[in-house]
Chain A
Amino acid sequence: MAETCELFDCGHRACGGCGAALVSRLILKATGKDVIIVSATGCMEVFSTPYPETAWKVPWIHSLFENNSAVASGIEAALKKQGRKEKVVAIGGDGSTFDIGMLCLSGAFERGHDFTYICYDNEAYMNTGIQRSGATPYDASTTTSPAGKCSKGNTKQKKDLPQILAAHGAPYVATASIAYPSDVVKKIEKAINTPGPCYVQIHAPCCTGWGFEGEKTLAIGKLAIETGLWVNFEMENGVVTRAKKVVRKPVETYLKEQKRFRHLFKPKVNAEEIAKIQAIADKNAEKYGIDLKLKNKADPVVP
């Protein structure tokens, strides 16, 4: 068993195929053991730490749903004073990060603490039963933005949190997806080795909340990128320095795989709404310049 159950232990209680559980593993793969983790309340915290069965083999602390950045600020200050060298990593779900924890997050980034904030983005409040958050995509049906006779699901678009944190002067802001695990690890390594407050937002598909089979977690993540609905990019000192290019697929290929968008296809296809979502993808593609142009069939595409 020494081989497996690495720094993130086996025996945790995430749903089978959980994207967030993979995020936990990848984070610790990137940080190694010299780290202090500050988790916010949410699925990851709950599935990994029912007393006394902690899955974390590194120092780990949970306080509340909305204060992980502030707790991390205090830890960072204490380590500085004590002359210690552990890296400080705060982890929050999208609800914790985009919504209720914004105050603490903004404060900590403005003050410039040397820590990395990782948001595992499963696009809703999963732990409390799939309610919408500021990260829930347009038209997704959740338990508080249900599709219905006069509702097409969530009426708002995803908040652009990476831009907000970059505007705080964060030296490194990146998005990643569990569909590309080595990219996740690379970006976290870069973030923890960049002095100052850094942010990594990781797309972490949730089979239970989005409505797909657990075996498809990575495939769904890939489709989000291939349709342009999720963009993997890096920002250094406020400037986008890299974005993953793709040969884009139509958004339907992504949407139709998930129950949260089923109302756009059944009882009949809602072309108007799908066009709106396509427009969101088009805008992303333009903003980040992700479209790979196929010149001619002879040129192989290297994404």
Chain B
Amino acid sequence: MSASKISVTGLRKSFGSNEVLKGLDVEIAEGEVVCVIGPSGSGKSTFLRCLNKLDELSGGTVIVDGFNVSDKTVNLNEVRQHIGMVFQHFNLFPHMTVLQNIMLAPVELKKQSPADARATALKLLDRVGLADKATARPAQLSGGQKQRVAIARSLAVNPDIMLFDEATSALDPEMVGEVLQVIRDLAAEGMTMVVVTHEMGFAREVADRVIFMADGLIVEEGTPAELFGNPQQARTQDFLSKVL
């Protein structure tokens, strides 16, 4: 693996007196796919949200794509254009068409002319298999389709890193596959990704590395074969016995 794309040292995060992240150290290389697993409430979402600073950090250092996110003077709007984020509940803009959802950021950020943004958006829609939905409203789409549009929207600003926060948890089972396929394709293209997921089979298949979190700490990490095949920690074994 080549240079470090994400470098996290001593990351802490508290909500009031509740310490949710208790000192995380993570290095993620360019092109690496890291899956984060762990019980609900263990701090997985908070970890992701600290990477693009949707949540304020309480301590530690986060360097993403060369930007020191923990530095107060850094231009967050610029950093975030390098980091795409996909949410559990899609968060599509309901008052816009699919095409407008995807074109909004490139045009507002003056990265592309409206005509170019449109062409890019149509290409991205084609890539996620929704070329025919360009003029539809989010309300007219199924859950799986919505999530694929949300992924296309993130890709439109041409990020180097993609963060997925339980992208398939809100979907009916028959739609999980189509979304995972899109993520799988991105992995194959060499995108650096941090994927929080409950799909253990998927993690085993696409991850270069799996991180198991519990109670705001990284309990154990390793290749899928190591972590799923031969977990060292009791907490990991316990968790895996429940979900596998």
Partners in one complex: no
Listed in ascending order, the chain A residues whose CB lies under 8 Å from chain B are: none
